[in-house]
Structure 1
């Protein structure tokens, strides 16, 4: 047996040493800490549609996770030659994961994501299909072009719409999708200089974007989504993921609108605090380490932004659930890099 390289580059030959090293390599390839930024997309989409999560929401989350991880693996497969020069410690250039295995995994994850979306219903599949196409187009063709950040932003926006599609109410989720996509556009633009640094403009633009998004998400809109407005008129908390009225006794955590605005404001502040500081540091000193730290901060800030968007839609308990994913992501990030 030839063995495998561990995180320090040492060879763990044979026996019990191979499996942990191989598992760590795949964890790095999949960027497991970033995985916690995925469920909030679908949940924010359901909340924006004026519904509450249901079985189809779980299928949408599973689809999102598979498509997101397919993109992570395909990204490294497409960049394996570039990483060999700039980041030789990554799983593919270091030889800890074979390129053919990575490409096979990307294909299998994409197929699984589309299958789960199909189980969630035709509207969900109608969103998941262009989402999968965008992921592959970004990694294989668009990443190093001016259209790259736009494609990545579109993918994240579609992921939120995927959650809303399971309710049959896509249009109310479009403003939230646009806000989330704008954040992703800013982070992706910064990431284009992740290994070389040298640009203060992108972090400055991302900092300004963060301030704007925090302000926009800090308050609930004047009019809640139609589903919540209709349910409120009937004394109900909202609609189920299938579009039917949800019994009030089965939706915990409902509070007056004022508390929703306070929660949205607090979560928007948490979003700004997570993203703004590393963006500012990268703007003042656009070195590769600080630029990488800014990208990581921007990725982590996705969770409080999703939570703020959820609270903005009036789903307080669901917003708290989404926000709870952030500490889990930080815990895993201590062992595996998020970028």
Structure 2
């Protein structure tokens, strides 16, 4: 007869540290970047000589998966770092988090923090020096945000948005983009980065009841303007599915605006946290739209996105999402 499973609380604390609902919003960034760069005319054939960094040349289709895996590892690195750097604040405001509650030791978190960074950069090496360099820059930006920049009212959200923009660009680099002025790639990275910056600016005060003012409208404004620019850029680049930017972006902007409308006056911390969670889940639909433009249709990206969305909703009932 077996005894109680004492490892179950530890496993749950480990997953709580990594915020599974957030993790599901990550792979779509590089996949969308890969598809958009490919649709814009960049070719992976030029990468063959530069993809043997570890002595392995991988197929073109697998490079998007490599970019997604490395971005996911660096995102996990950032989540762990967030809790490590915020231990004092969490002891006051979120004492049930894994570190202040004692469910996970700081030493264990530090080991995971270092391992996820090393693994993310190593995996990126399969996409060559350019892939490794982009992910190294992403890692440095994540570290700088967690250690210093998050304390600044404006620079903090912008750095967080920059992390998401770089996540999309890891996929574009995997498709052959090398920093050229490609309007679809740059516009999509800007849209994603500014949206996350807007949500971060609201989430900064999610534990206190206070008036948000115009900040509550920022996600909707970014979506409306950003998808308009993406649609224009995709059309200029000759991408046939450019109308999807308007067809899908408009209802997303309305949805984000309704969420902001509910935060009028002095919303409760629970109300703000709920809106932030919804806006974060909206990242999946942004990625579906961007991927559909690059893919040339909505069916496949939409099916994948809906599956992830349903799974994420289930995870959000069990784990913290912010």
- TM category (shorter chain) comes to 0.7 to 0.9
Partner of 1:166: 174
Go from structure 1 to structure 2 and tell me whether the alpha carbon gap of 1:267 and 1:319 turns closer, same or farther (over 3 Å shift). farther
Gaps of 5+ in 2: 45-59
- RMSD of equivalent CA atoms: 2.4
Go from structure 1 to structure 2 and tell me whether the alpha carbon gap of 1:276 and 1:182 turns closer, same or farther (over 3 Å shift). same
SS in 1 for 2:319: coil
2:81 to 74, 77, 81: 74
Higher mean alpha-carbon deviation, 129-138 vs 199-208, is at 199-208
1:329 to 289, 312, 318: 312
Higher mean alpha-carbon deviation, 112-121 vs 308-317, is at 308-317
Equivalent residues in 2 for 1:259-274, closer than 5 Å: 260-261=241-242, 263-269=244-250, 271-272=252-253
2:140 to 133, 136, 140: 133
Partner of 2:123: 116
1:33 to 14, 21, 25: 21
Higher mean alpha-carbon deviation, 110-119 vs 200-209, is at 200-209
Deviation at 1:207, TM superposition (A): 3.5
Q: Distance in 2 between matches of 1:288 and 1:210?
A: 24
Q: Show CA shifts across 1:122-172 (max 9, x none).
A: 111121111000011111111111321111111100010000101112433
Partner of 1:297: 278
Partner of 2:36: 48
- Contact 2:211–2:265 (CA under 8 A) maintained in structure 1: no
Equivalent residues in 2 for 1:1-339, closer than 5 Å: 15-50=3-38, 54-146=61-153, 147-170=155-178, 171=180, 172=182, 173-201=185-213, 202-216=215-229, 221-224=234-237, 257=240, 260-261=241-242, 263-269=244-250, 271-272=252-253, 275-316=256-297, 317=299, 319-324=301-306, 325-339=308-322
Go from structure 1 to structure 2 and tell me whether the alpha carbon gap of 1:129 and 1:88 turns closer, same or farther (over 3 Å shift). same
Go from structure 1 to structure 2 and tell me whether the alpha carbon gap of 1:60 and 1:208 turns closer, same or farther (over 3 Å shift). same
Q: Distance in 1 between matches of 2:230 and 2:269?
A: 31
Deviation at 1:33, TM superposition (A): 0.9
Q: TM-score, normalised by structure 1?
A: 0.79
- Contact 2:36–2:172 (CA under 8 A) maintained in structure 1: yes
SS in 2 for 1:121: helix
Deviation at 1:264, TM superposition (A): 4.0
- Contact 1:218–1:264 (CA under 8 A) maintained in structure 2: yes
Q: Distance in 2 between matches of 1:77 and 1:289?
A: 24
Higher mean alpha-carbon deviation, 213-222 vs 39-48, is at 213-222
- Contact 1:220–1:311 (CA under 8 A) maintained in structure 2: no
Q: Distance in 2 between matches of 1:144 and 1:315?
A: 41
Higher mean alpha-carbon deviation, 85-94 vs 208-217, is at 208-217
**Number of residue equivalences:** 294
Higher mean alpha-carbon deviation, 132-141 vs 316-325, is at 316-325
Deviation at 1:36, TM superposition (A): 1.0
Deviation at 1:261, TM superposition (A): 5.0
